[in-house]
Amino acid sequence: MCPSDEDVCHPPRVQNLTSAKTINDGASVMYTVVTCTENSIEEEEHAFVQLQEELKNVGSSIDTLNTNLEQLNQRKANCLNKMQHLQERISREGTTDVVQRLSSLSQSLKALEMQESEHKSNCNAKYSKLQAEVNELENIICGNDDANLSHGINHSLYNSLERLNSAKRKCQGPAQPSHGQVQVAHFLCPNYTSAQTLGIISRAVEGKETQARQGNPCKARSRVMHQGKTFVMPYDVTGASSANPPSMTCLATLEIQIHVPTELAVKLREIVLLKRQLDDVPSQEELIQYEHRFSELYVHIQEKLRQTRELYATFNAMLEIKDLMLKETSLLNSISSQCVLQKLEKVRLTLEAERNVRDAVKQRYAAAIVEQRSCYSLLKAFQEECTKNERLRSLSSEILP
């Protein structure tokens, strides 16, 4: 029994349909794989672009840090220039010399204060001593005890003569009478000229020197008169019974009163010396002016010191900021070199691998497309043959009843 046409034709048609379905499924799978790979490649490219943007941002941040570092270096240089100008100004104004002078002046001020206190104490002591001596002289002159008066006069006259002798030994030329002695001589002998008065004084001094060399009989006589409680002038003061009345009268009066101007002259000289020493000591107003000037100088130095400290503080702050910026730039460079570059290299490697996979998939896809086209052409030819077969069957069925 031979098979019919339907049995012969239908099974190959079913096989061709299943093969076409498998080809379509494979093509769709390949298409999905290709689309997935393309999507993954696009994502990788997008990630790569993002990494490049991050790298650009890191580079821009590094550039900004470098510009900030340059600005800090410029500010540091400006601070150094300001400090140098300030030091030059300080050296030009001579503040160190002023400080040294201030310290020396303060020390000299303390020494002058001590000297002033010492001079004041000495002046007070000498003033009290001189006042006591003046009071004693006034009491002696105004007193009624002739014996004490003669004894004091002789003692003071002897002391004044000793001082005159010592002064004459020290002098190179002849001894000149002092202004106080001339005034005393004029007071005692107003009827004589200055030359006669000086002659009288010189003769009195020479007489006293001879008396001192001969044993000072006037002193012994005054001592005897003091013991007898009587006071007798060695010469007639009135000048009525003397052989040389004017000279002897003035000489006697000069011998009695010579110690008063000499002592007063010595005391006056001491007072003048003390006044000169007191004039050398600065007054309270000068000390106040010194104190004000020292205070102004101290304020000026403190202001300069404050400005210097501020400049040093800003300089140290700039140095710290510079160190921090250098550390930050080194950290960013290490991060960019270690992390970003490594990640970029990995992304490049993965991108190359994905590109290789994409190329392989594209090749497979192209092969699948070629196979699909061939399948489509075969399917079309098969369908044409099937239509021809159907037409032939219909014709054969019409021909053969």
- Is 282 found in the same domain as 168? yes
Instruction: Give every CB contact of residue 168 below 8 A, 6+ residues apart in sequence.
Output: 175
Of 268 and 90, the one with more pLDDT: 268
Instruction: Give me the mean pLDDT over the 86-107 stretch.
Output: 70
pLDDT value of position 189:
47
Domain assignment present for 183: yes
Domain assignment present for 104: no
Give the single-character DSSP code of 145: -
Number of C-beta neighbours around residue 323 at 10 A = 10
Q: Closest by alpha carbon to 361, among 37, 43, 28?
A: 37
Of the listed ranges 122-126, 233-237, 282-286, the least confidently predicted one is 233-237
- Is 264 found in the same domain as 168? yes
Instruction: Read off the pLDDT of residues 174-210 as tens digits, 9 standing for 90 and up.
Output: 444 444 444 444 444 444 454 555 555 556 556 655 6
Percent of the chain with pLDDT over 90: 14
DSSP for 197-264, please give it. HHHHHHHHHHHHHHHHHTT-HHHHHHHHHHHTT----SS-SS-SS-SSHHHHHHHHHHHHHTHHHHHH
Split at pLDDT 50, 70, 90, the class of 313 is: very high
- Is 262 found in the same domain as 212? yes
pLDDT value of position 117:
80
Instruction: Read off the pLDDT of residues 111-134 as tens digits, 9 standing for 90 and up.
Output: 888 887 887 787 778 777 777 776
d(CA 10, CA 386): 9
- Where among 254, 286, 318 does a domain terminate? 286
Split at pLDDT 50, 70, 90, the class of 356 is: very high
- Is 78 found in the same domain as 21? yes
CATH at 29: 1.10.287
Domain assignment present for 108: no
Range of the domain at 222: 114-286
Determine whether 48 is exposed, middle or buried from the number of CB atoms within 10 Å of its CB (0-12, 13-18, 19+).
middle
Instruction: Give me the mean pLDDT over the 380-392 stretch.
Output: 91
Percent of the chain with pLDDT over 70: 57
The helix-helix angle for 194-213 and 245-257 (nearest 10°) equals 70
Give the single-character DSSP code of 337: I
Count how many domains the chain has: 2
- Where among 286, 307, 335 does a domain terminate? 286
Task: Name, of 139-153, 160-174, 250-264, 344-358, the range with top average pLDDT.
Answer: 344-358
Task: Name, of 204-213, 254-263, 266-275, the range with top average pLDDT.
Answer: 266-275
d(CA 180, CA 260): 10
- Where among 265, 286, 307 does a domain terminate? 286
Chain centroid to CA 113: how far?
31
Mean pLDDT, the chain, whole residue set: 70
pLDDT value of position 349:
92
Of the listed ranges 76-90, 131-145, 212-226, the least confidently predicted one is 212-226
pLDDT value of position 378:
92
d(CA 171, CA 319): 79
pLDDT value of position 109:
79
Domain assignment present for 217: yes
pLDDT value of position 320:
92
- Is 261 found in the same domain as 361? no
d(CA 55, CA 53): 5
Domain assignment present for 54: yes
- Number of residues written out for the chain: 401
- Is 52 found in the same domain as 177? no
Q: Does the pLDDT of residue 161 top 50, yes or no?
A: yes
- Is 323 found in the same domain as 195? no
In contact, 65 and 325? CB cutoff 8 Å: yes
Domain assignment present for 106: no
Instruction: Read off the pLDDT of residues 56-82 as tens digits, 9 standing for 90 and up.
Output: 777 777 878 778 888 888 888 887 888
pTM equals: 0.29
- Is 132 found in the same domain as 66? no
Of the listed ranges 116-120, 287-291, 295-299, the least confidently predicted one is 116-120
Domain assignment present for 95: no
- Is 280 found in the same domain as 155? yes
Domain assignment present for 386: yes
pLDDT value of position 80:
81
- Is 228 found in the same domain as 119? yes
- Is 342 found in the same domain as 318? yes
- Is 389 found in the same domain as 271? no
pLDDT value of position 241:
39
In contact, 239 and 245? CB cutoff 8 Å: yes
